[in-house]
Structure formats: C-alpha cells, structure tokens
Structure 1
C-alpha cells in the first residue's frame, strides 16, 4: 500500500491528529504495522551507529522521536481491537501479537542501544539534565535492564520466544473470553422470569435478544466480573441462579473456548521468564518496578486487610440469612446468587434506600453533562463541545472537544457507552493520541463502558454502579488529558501500575458531592431532584456491604498473586483446585462470597496489563482515601484545589516519581487510616 491508499501511513490531517476512521479499513492495519516496525528499527540503528559518544540529544531524544508511525497505527488499532473486535479485527490481533512482542524485544534487548543508555546512566550526576530528562534516562535504563538487556545472547533468544508465546496466548485468552461471554448470555423465554427488572431494563433485554434474532425473548449479557447488576433485582431465585452459573462458568466449561489450559501455560511461561531475568517469580519481577517494591509487601497488605474483611463479610452473611429466615415462607441457606438481592432488601430496611429504584434519576446524558463534565468544569475550568463532524471507529462512539478555562484547546474526549457483542467486557480508558511536547501532539483519550442500550426512543438510565464507573473512568481520561510532559514515554497514564488507579478513584468522590449530585441527579420525567435526605443516606451506607465487596476484591487480588508467585518449573494442573487452595490460605473461601474474577475470565491479568498487579486498586486506594480527606479539609470542589491536584499530580504523568509527586501535592506521605475507615475495617 502507498501513502495515497493507506491513511495510517501519514500523520492524520484531522484535528488533534485523530485517526481518520472514516477512511481506515481493516486491511490497512497490518501494512502500517509492518512499515512501522521497519521504520523504528531503522531509527534505532541510526542511533546505535552514531560514532560519537552518547549524549542526551543523540540517544534519548532520538529514541523518543522514533516509532511515530508504529505509535499511530498501534493507538488506532488497539482502540478498535478492544471496542469493536470483529472477526477480521480479531484475526489481525492474533497475527500481530507475536510480531509486536518481537519488535518490542528487538528494541529493549538491543545491546548497542543498552550500552548507550547505560553510558548516560553511569554519568547521570555529571550531566546538565532537567528533572524530566534525568528521569527519562533512569526509566529507560531500568526498563531495559528489567526486560533482559543485560542477558547473554542465548538467554535473550529464549526470552524473545517466551514473550512472543505469552503475547499470542494472551490474545487467545481474550478471544476465548469474548466468545464464551457472548455464548453464555442468558436467554429467558418468559418475561415473568425477569420480574423485578424495570421497564427500561426489560426493554434493553428484549432489544439485546432481538439483535440476535431471538424475537419475543429477553437476553441478559454478562459483565466482565462475577456478579451481575440484575442479581440485585430479580425476584425469581432460579433466574438468579442461572445468571450466576453462566457468569462463573466462562472459560472453564470445556470446548474450544476453554481458557484453563491457556492461563496455566501463561502462568508457567511467565514464571520461566522471571527466572531467566533473575527473579524468584513473575510477581517478584513485576513488583520490582512498582511502588510496592516486593510481593512480600503486597502480601502483607492483602493479609492485613483480608482478616477484617472476611470477619465483616461473615457478619453480613449472618444478617442476610436472618432476613431470609424471617421473610421467606420456605427459608433456604443463602448462596452466592442470593447475596445481592437480599443485600438490597436489607439496605432498604436499614437505610430506606432501594438502589435499583434510583435509575430514573440517573439519565445518562444528564449524568455526563451535568455531572461528569460539570465537575471537571468546577474543578479544572474545562468545557466540552460535541464534535459529530469528526469520524469515530464505531457509530456508538461520540467525540467531544475539550477546552481550558481560557478557551484554548486541550484535546479530544471519546465516549463509547454501550455494550455490544464485539466489545470486550468491563470499562476502561485508552489513549488514541498521546500528548507530547517533543512530538507536538495533544491528547485524544477514549472511555469505554458496557451499559445496556435502551430501546429506540427510551432514555438510557444508569445504575448507581454505572454512574460510579463513568466518574471513575473519566478520572483516567483526565489523567491523559492533563498530561504536560515533553517525552511520550511519560505521557498521561504511563505511570507505575499500582499508581495508575489513584487519579480515577479520586474522581469518584464527586459523584455524591452535594453541588454536583444536585445538578445531575434529576428524575428524567419530572426533573425532580433525588428525594430529600437520600444522598445523605447514600453516604451513610459507605461501609454497608463492604465486607462482601472488600472480600471479593481481595480474593481476586490474592488469586492474581498466587498464580504469579509460582517458581519456574511449577505448573497448575487443576485450576479449580489451585484457586480453592489459594483462597483457603488467605481465609477468603466463603462460597457465598465468590472471587470478583475467577482465573478463566480474569482478563485483567491474562489479557490486560495487570498481571501480578491487580492489588493496585487497593494499593492506590490508600492514596485516594487520603486525598479525599485533603479535599474535604480544604473546601471540596474548588478551582484552587483542582488546580493543585492537576498541576502537581495529574499533569506530571510518569515524569516524576509518583510517591514524590504525591508528597508534593499532599505535603506528606499517605496514611492508611482513611481507607480503613471508608471500608469499615477500622474496628
């Protein structure tokens, strides 16, 4: 293909260098990747062939300038591969996986490049470097060393083989999970079996069935995590059981989409790779370059939290069992598929709150504009203008231009709200264009959620959890939009994995902040605000059911650590037995409180970037809870507070040590007490 026929081969002429998705076809991607590989390797050769000694300019700057075509193709493609993975896109993804791994190794393991970076690193104190320049040298040296650049050639060859195989298996895991999740969507022939769902939820289920040619039926698609939002409302116990059983069987029921063998091989190969790099386990290799430092530090935290969480979950289970015994004509032992339903009954009884009944107050457009965007306006002076003239990768995605308080352009924000069969589960943020002063690029970021699409003409009404998720993911988007770095290596969310969730978790606080929730939480028909006192009661429930929620999360985080604590040579023969033993070890093996993700559908760690790092959510929450305290102590949603948070934390990306940036913002290290109080673990 030529630059005339393939729009990826030249920089986009659209605003903000947005990929021209209106012209990009699936068959454009592989040629662009192949040319991108060739161009970057040629650029690396030019760096290593320089006869003069390494300088920051001829080595580090040249390195950061390299690979622009590959970056352009990668950002454009992987946005689509996660949000609209058609069969053609999946096939490309499978072919690309080992090629990308090999290319990354060709750079990170390049002995001549490593020598030049090491020379700069060895004399770093004598070089006249700005702080961001110094950190760039440090990070490249650290990352190349951890990647295996100092290994001998035979070890490098084996390392490259391992990386390519792991990459291919990760793509297979995601493909299997998407297919099995679609196949296991639960079909109901009789609407009466979905008693308890709202009219809007029923219409969404009918629409989902219709889109699959199942006219007159209803279909509940499965989210990524173990539970399902409908479990809190379905009155029919058998319906709840069917939904939970389908969710928990994903990737582990035999057949072509079974992920158990895939994940066992991934874990084994990761352990071998860690040993090759000189680490006792994959978890040790990962945490060596995170703020945690060691898997032992992670284990201490998880064990410290697991005991009180399990204790609280046991008390919650006893309360739910009493409710069943007192209210059901024929009482039965509480099971996992019952927990959410009776939790909502108990919440209603104790706090006069029915979270399922709140949906009419959370109309999606109003939540977005008068909630999420308005909070960003109050705190950071941002404004948003929709740009329907700009091309998107799928008709369900929308693009907004983001402006600063002075009217200057900041970047683009893409929102892809609704679920579809071609979209992977969960919710996420990803960059489409990364900010970099060196390259002269402004940020373009995307948020994806999996909200059920309503029937035509009906409003999209969000659950309380979906509102929280939208605020959370927009926190990631802000991290990308506010990036003010020179080098693309540090742009946006390119920070330590156990720090990346911190800004997004902080942004959740504005969901129930008085001035903000009063503006967006209005009944979609009457425009009435949430009933008086309801918001206060919602805040009062902050620790309600936290034993369950903390336990299911910690179980998944512990499972991730156990899977990746294996030494080289050990293998997982029976995934179910391995999980059971791991959860018993930490005391989180209550059958009524299943792990948030079981191994066979744990996409975070087997097809995402969280392997041995799922602990990062709770690790980051220590910083988050401490930051929420700071905002409360300093007047809340004020421009001055937002500006401080933006300039000292969000904007620096990875150009500064994250804990140093936190101390700069907070004035001290984070304290754990606010987290313990938030989750009810302080007593």
Structure 2
C-alpha cells in the first residue's frame, strides 16, 4: 500500500478543496503513506541542498515551501482522526508514528546544509528586493531553525533528536492515559433520582451513554476535559455532585496503569534539559522567547498582577455562597463541588436569573445557523451550504461549503459537535487543508466540541457555556478560512501561540449582539425570543462569578509556568506532583480549596500532550487584545460589513505572514490597552 494506485493518501483527492475521501481510507493505509511521504520530503530537501549556485530566495525558500506537500496532506488527514475518533487501531498507529514524526521533523529542522542556505539568504536580506511576505518568510525560517537547534554541533543535535523523540512518545502516552482514565471514571448512576436537576435531554444522554456501555437501565455521566462539569450547576443531590467532581479530579493520578504522574515529571525534566541544550535557563524561557510575550518575566508579571484581585473577588463570592448554605436547613462548609450549584442560586437571587433554565432557547441547529453562521454572514458576507454528499471522517461530522459575498469559493467547514469515547476532551479547531497561493490550495477547517448527544428524536439543547464554545471555536475557524497567503508556512492560524486565541475570543462578542441573539435564541417549543428582561439580566451579570472564573484559569496558567520554569535537576527532584502543585498555588495566592485549578497537572492535556506547554497564559494574554477590540467594534457601529472587512483584511486575512502585534496596530491604530480586560473581569478595584 505504498503507491498511489493502492493507497488513497498518496495522491490528491478529487473532492472539493482536496477533502480526503475518508470512505476509501483504512487504518492500514496510514503508516505506509507516512513512510512514503517522509522519503519524498527528505528527497525534496536534499534537492534544495544539492544546488551548486549560491543560495537565493528563489532556489531555497520557494522550493522549501513547496516541499512536503504529500506529508502535510497525510499528516493533517491522520491527526484529524486521531484526535476526534481515536479507535484502538488509530491509537496504536499514533504511538508508532510519534517518534517517527519527531525524527523526521528534526531531520529537516536540524539539517546543517539547509540551515546554511537559509542563514546565507537571511544575511543578505537587507539587499534583497522582496515583498513583505517573502521578507518575513526569510526571517521566520531563520529564527525557527535557530530556535530549534540547527546551529548546534553534531553531538548536540543527536542529543536533541533523542530528547524530541522521547518527548513525542511521552506526550502521546499522556493523552492516551487521559482518554482511557476519562472513560473509565465516567460516573455510573443507578437511579434517575440521583440525577435530579438534569433536563430531559441531559437525562436521555446519560441513559444513551449507559446503553452504549451495556448498562441498560442505568445512567452514565461522562467527564469533561476541565475540572468542573456543566451538570454541577443543576444536580440537586450533593452526593451526586461530589461523585462527579471527585471522578474528574482523580484522572491520571490513581496509581494505576493510566497514572500520568511519572509521565509528566519526565516530560518536564526532558523539556528542561532540551531548553538548556538550546541555551535557555528553562523551557518557559525557551518557549516565550519566540512569542509576543518575549520572556517568562513578562508572563509572570501579568499573572501576578491579576491573581491577587481575582482571589479576593473569589473569596467575596465564596462568602455569598456560604451565606446561602448557612440560611438553609442543613448547613455545611462550601466545597468545590458545591460552587456551581450555589452560584446559580446567588445569581437567581441577585439578578433573578436562572441560566440553567435557558437551554430551551439554545437549540443547537438554530444556534449554528441563525447565530454562528449569521454573524459571519453579516460581518463578512460569507454564505454556507451543507454538503451531505461529502464524506467526513465520522458519520457524526457535517460538511459545509463556504462562498464569499461575491460568489467566489472560500473553503469547507466541518462541524463535529458530539462527545464520544474515541474523541479527546475539550473543544478545538484544526485544518485538514490550509490555503496557499503557491500550492494552489483552499482551506478545510474542522471544529470539534464535546456536547452530550441526546436520544434519537430529542433536540440538542445547549448550555450558555456551550453556545460560547461554539462561537469561540468558529472564531478559530474563520481565522483558518480567511488567512490568504502565498506561502503555506503562514497559512491559517500559524501565528504565535499567545496570539492565536485572540480572533476566537473576539468572535464571542456576537453571542449577545441584539440582532444575532434575537435570531438564534428562540424557544424550542414556542419560537418566542429570549425575553428582553432576561437578556438585560445576562448582560448585567457578565462580571458575576468572575472571581472564580479568573482564579481557576490563572491557577492553571501558573501551574504550567511553574512546572516549566524548573531546571532538569529541579524537575528530577520533584517526587510528589500534588504537593508541588499545592506549593505553586500557595505561592501566587490561588490555593483556595473551593476554587480548584481549571486543569490539574495529571489531566492538563493542553500543556502535557497539546501545544500549550509554558503557553497556557496565552488565553489571558490574548484577551487583552480581545477586550480592546470588542471596545473598538462597539464604538464603530458593531456588526457591519465595513467593520468585518477591516478585521478580516488587516488581521484575520494576514494569517502568520506579518508580525501579529504589527497586524494588530494596523487594525486598531495603536497597541492594546489592558483596561477593558480589567473592567470585563472585575479587576479594576
């Protein structure tokens, strides 16, 4: 299965935008396709380095950007499946693939002959007549290869390659352990009474989960990626809430075959060793040196600036919750599993607002078409057509074709809404194909969520948090769809990690925009719009519970920073993950037992199996830009094509082809102001 005649992965798909024909792709096709693609890519790089003439942009960077197209196609096709439908066969392939992919990437990034050519062109950059994108391409390739270790000697490169391969295995193991433990710890309830407070749809989803596991007549509540769970806000039985929270917090730390404690300690140690090899004092210093933050010092300063007022706000919120409990018939001390439930009671008392009762107004299909899609049409003129004839990688994923306002094709969007045991937790966007003028490709982007699927015939009613997630992830999708670049290196969301969340956060602003809300928030039975007084209460309560929300996020961001600020020797000395985490949280004043971190170390997939190591701060860092941008939209007329076109042309559309802060200044006219963020999160006092 190593030629195009027998392996569908080894030739471009004839489907629109090069959508892989998943109907033809079998698990056994992947490894042979990767092997062939590695060989082809290596040959393409060798051809560049064998050129006898002196390096130029045309004989080095243009072929470098053309190289690896087959590998790119195979990898994006596979990793889309491995994250969203990781069957045992796919997991086995991913484990075998991890060190192979790492070794291949190192072979390219650390190629001394290629680095010499890149460095030679970079040294001539001031004398070259290049357009801005080409000039920035030279700068980025040189910086990234240097950052990756291309300037090391051969012995150092070999050690670096060994470290990278071992880390690739460990991060894959971390994710596999987490997925298995998340499935194993799904909470089984024997009686529907134990789930009092759930809606009919939520209860049917729990019954369906049980039936899928052979537990007819019982109920299974699957866990979310983060520490809490949406059901904690409505479950009336305290014992049920406690079981759900306890299961979530045990993940990866039970001392069994899925325990991630040793895995993450080795990851931290090896990352620190790699950073030292590359000339940095820590992995955090290594990562931030090539981000907009520039250094851990800048990150720590922001996190510490926000932590104290956030923790103080959380304590005030906790006192209010405790007073509600104390006024009841059976008083007890508030614990983490109680917070969401009593928060809704305080919200109801202070704002006469029950967010858990809003689900009938948030039917998923209407939110998608009349909310998410409509906002994009109003802002950018894009049109959506569902293509049921096009195959996605799973029967539950849906394909949409997008066109610009002038009728020109834009790309494809795939939505995979529902949770399943083979899908990793959380929500994310990825690209199957990225746009490039050089390669003549158009984008295909995917949004994955983990919404419980109700029983057949029952509507999917979203929580307000799930509505927010849908808008957020589609903001990433728009970034991936709109980026219009020549070179694939800059395609889609290929921007600095601490900038990538900014466009997605901005897209959340349309959730409450009057004409968008009025279109999608309509009662499932009566078609009545969400009452105006409820909308007013939602707006008035936006800063409500921000002490908790900010604290749990900052706690996770700080855990990430502290782990990745260790030297390899310091990391090797850590023998108790829980104690290390507790000490870190105490240091920044975020050690309130009632407010656990959004992710604890042993299930912190973002940083130990994803791309956010030493970078989880990116969400709040990007939110400074987001809050400032939301203020700009509001002052300039909001949901208009003129505003959308400006945001698209000057920011989303440039992809990674321009320094992101320069792109922001071009859009906004100045650097971002932090005050809108402080106001939004109630941190101005």
Q: So what's the TM-score if we normalise by structure 2?
A: 0.99
Distance (Å, rounded) in 1 between the aligned partners of 2:504 and 2:336: 29
Matched, 1:191 2:192: yes
The SS at the match of 1:94 is: helix
Matched, 1:425 2:409: no
Partner of 1:323: 324
Deviation per residue, 1:629-675 (Å, 9 max, x gap):
00000000000000000000001010000000000000000000000
Distance (Å, rounded) in 2 between the aligned partners of 1:127 and 1:112: 21
Matched, 1:626 2:649: no
Distance (Å, rounded) in 1 between the aligned partners of 2:508 and 2:209: 29
The SS at the match of 2:568 is: coil
Q: CA deviation at 1:200?
A: 1.1
Once the two structures are superposed, the pairs formed by residues 21-420 of structure 1 within 5 Å of their partners are 21-326=22-327, 328-420=328-420
Matched, 1:637 2:639: yes
Give 1:609's match in structure 2, choosing from 605, 608, 611: 611
Q: CA deviation at 1:569?
A: 1.8
The SS at the match of 1:448 is: strand
Gaps of 5+ in 2: none
Distance (Å, rounded) in 1 between the aligned partners of 2:108 and 2:6: 29
The SS at the match of 1:376 is: helix
Deviation per residue, 1:598-655 (Å, 9 max, x gap):
0000000011000000000000000000000000000000000000000000010100
Partner of 1:663: 665
Distance (Å, rounded) in 1 between the aligned partners of 2:539 and 2:91: 43
Once the two structures are superposed, the pairs formed by residues 545-556 of structure 1 within 5 Å of their partners are 545-556=545-556
Distance (Å, rounded) in 1 between the aligned partners of 2:396 and 2:377: 25
Distance (Å, rounded) in 2 between the aligned partners of 1:402 and 1:303: 43
Do the aligned partners of 2:268 and 2:568 also contact (CA within 8 Å) in 1? no
Distance (Å, rounded) in 1 between the aligned partners of 2:408 and 2:493: 22
Q: CA deviation at 1:539?
A: 1.0
Distance (Å, rounded) in 2 between the aligned partners of 1:354 and 1:138: 53
The SS at the match of 2:555 is: helix
Q: So what's the TM-score if we normalise by structure 1?
A: 1.00
Distance (Å, rounded) in 2 between the aligned partners of 1:300 and 1:532: 41
Distance (Å, rounded) in 1 between the aligned partners of 2:356 and 2:79: 35
The SS at the match of 1:293 is: coil
Distance (Å, rounded) in 1 between the aligned partners of 2:534 and 2:453: 27
Matched, 1:581 2:614: no
Deviation per residue, 1:197-244 (Å, 9 max, x gap):
111111111111111111001111000000000000000000000000
Q: CA deviation at 1:254?
A: 1.1
Once the two structures are superposed, the pairs formed by residues 449-464 of structure 1 within 5 Å of their partners are 449-464=449-464
Distance (Å, rounded) in 2 between the aligned partners of 1:205 and 1:401: 33
Distance (Å, rounded) in 1 between the aligned partners of 2:625 and 2:186: 37
**How many residues matched?**
682
Give 2:598's match in structure 1, choosing from 596, 599, 608: 596
Q: CA deviation at 1:568?
A: 2.4
Q: CA deviation at 1:532?
A: 2.3
Distance (Å, rounded) in 2 between the aligned partners of 1:3 and 1:627: 48
Distance (Å, rounded) in 1 between the aligned partners of 2:517 and 2:346: 24
Show structure 1 runs of 4+ deviating over 3 A.
Answer: none
The SS at the match of 2:532 is: coil
Partner of 1:443: 443
Distance (Å, rounded) in 2 between the aligned partners of 1:84 and 1:497: 25
Q: CA deviation at 1:536?
A: 1.5
The SS at the match of 1:431 is: strand
Partner of 1:531: 531
The SS at the match of 1:415 is: strand
The SS at the match of 2:673 is: coil
Partner of 1:654: 656
The SS at the match of 2:448 is: strand
Distance (Å, rounded) in 2 between the aligned partners of 1:514 and 1:248: 39
Q: CA deviation at 1:533?
A: 1.4
The SS at the match of 1:569 is: helix
Do the aligned partners of 2:185 and 2:247 also contact (CA within 8 Å) in 1? yes
